[in-house]
Amino acid sequence: MKGIILVMDGMGDRPLKELNGQTPLQAAKTPNTDQMAKEGINGIMDSIAPGIIPGSDTAHLAILGYDPYVVYTGRGPFEAYGVGVEVIPGDIAFRCNFSTEDEEGIVTDRRAGRVRDTADLIDELNKMVLEDHPDVKIIFKGSTGHRAVLVLRGEGLSDKVSDADPKVEGKPPKTVVALDGSPEAEKTADILNQIVKKSYEMIKDHPINVNRAENGEPAANVIIPRGAGAVPTVELLNDKYEVNSACIAETGLIVGICRFAGMDIIDMEGVTGGIDTNLGAFRDTILDQVKNSDHDLLLVNIKGADETGHDGQMKEKLEFIEEVDKIVMSELKDLEDVYLIITADHSTPISVKNHSGDPVPMLIKGPEVRVDDIEKFSEVDAVKGGLGRIRGSDVMNILMNLMNYAHKFGA
């Protein structure tokens, strides 16, 4: 038996006047998904709790059975997982920007002219050793564009430190301070302040920046950390649920969450994270994994609908949902010996242009579900289904139960 959790990122929405009071999902023509709703059991889900607005990261943590209020210590660790740093419990991780600092130490461009290709700068920064803290290992890794990750590894560190990011241009980097007054936080704050200073010394005259100056581009001459988080100790998904799990996703954030959970990551060609993504690659990868791999649990995240929500693109959201139905769902609907969960991680309503705390619809299709009388997959229809209103933290337990993987609690 195999299980698939297919997350349409940000698919949930609110009723729209332009759609006669329907949501984009309600208004979309999704015959394949609707057939699965009809053959399955339906409900609504609050990824975290009713009304709580989830991030994609905290929502996926919850859906994978982790309590985000416990394990989500900050953005840093999940960014680090996302870009593939091999972090270990106890590491303190940060998000960073390459920024532009002038000779007076003022940040003139927080994104260093949206610099790309920072690999050589990262290599240089990875030589950094602080004289005052020679025992602390300093690890940089580049992410997309001007973004990077910083990981500190060593004894006596803390994530209770403030951000160096001044948030606005025209100011110097903020002095990092200990938030709880502990010696560990004091030490970590001191390290960060030295790293900001030293990064400027190390890369201000780097050939890349000489070259950028010649082209009239802002230098990427300082690194500014924020979003401290301590890497938590958790049980890996495969151990916790006795599965062999894999992740099929197109964004670093979701890949990071899945790496955190110890899942295998399946690469795909041509996926973009937008509505122009390669849905055929999703379809083929899922089918290949179901038919030809030893993985028995797949987490799939398709990002496009969330992007359209953030951009307020109603028509594009509706059409992308229809495309997924046509290209992906059409091939999943007849899979046998598979429990398929179709849901979203959160709503990203067109009217809000951001995530919201409205619950999302969920359907489960598979050999032994208690089929209800819902005939259409939507936020409004699913409410009357056999699942009722559940939470993200219920999803893995429900799936493991249906797959007969779960163990009895008691006698």
Contact set with a second copy (CB under 8 A): 14-15, 21, 23, 44, 48-59, 68, 72, 75, 78, 253, 349, 351-352, 354-358, 368-372, 379-380, 383-390, 394, 396-401, 404, 406-411
Question: What is the rounded CA–CA span in Å between residue 142 and residue 118?
Answer: 7
- Residue number, 11 or 220, with CB nearest to a second copy: 11
Nearest to 305 by CA among 252, 268, 250, 255: 250
- Residue number, 41 or 266, with CB nearest to a second copy: 41
Smallest separation (angstroms) from a second copy to the CB of 105: 29
- Residue number, 304 or 385, with CB nearest to a second copy: 385
**Which residues, 6 or more positions from 166, have their beta carbon under 8 angstroms from its beta carbon?**
107, 110, 172, 173, 174, 224
- What stretches of 217-359 show up as alpha helix (H) in DSSP? 237-241, 252-260, 279-292, 304-311, 314-324, 330-332
Smallest separation (angstroms) from a second copy to the CB of 191: 25
Residue 319 exposure: Cα atoms within 13 Å on the Cβ side = 8
At 408, the amino acid letter reads K
- Residue number, 281 or 371, with CB nearest to a second copy: 371
- Phi/psi for 154 (5° steps) reads 165, 180
- Residue number, 187 or 317, with CB nearest to a second copy: 317
- Residue number, 24 or 113, with CB nearest to a second copy: 24
Smallest separation (angstroms) from a second copy to the CB of 356: 6
- Give the angle 396-397-398 at the CA atoms, nearest 5°: 90
What is the DSSP pairing of strand 338-343 with strand 2-8?
A: parallel
Q: Which residue has the tokens 């399955």?
A: 40
Smallest separation (angstroms) from a second copy to the CB of 213: 33
Question: What is the rounded CA–CA span in Å between residue 76 and residue 91?
Answer: 10
Smallest separation (angstroms) from a second copy to the CB of 409: 5
Question: What is the rounded CA–CA span in Å between residue 57 and residue 76?
Answer: 12
Smallest separation (angstroms) from a second copy to the CB of 344: 14
**Which residues, 6 or more positions from 135, have their beta carbon under 8 angstroms from its beta carbon?**
154, 155
- Residue number, 137 or 353, with CB nearest to a second copy: 353
Smallest separation (angstroms) from a second copy to the CB of 51: 3
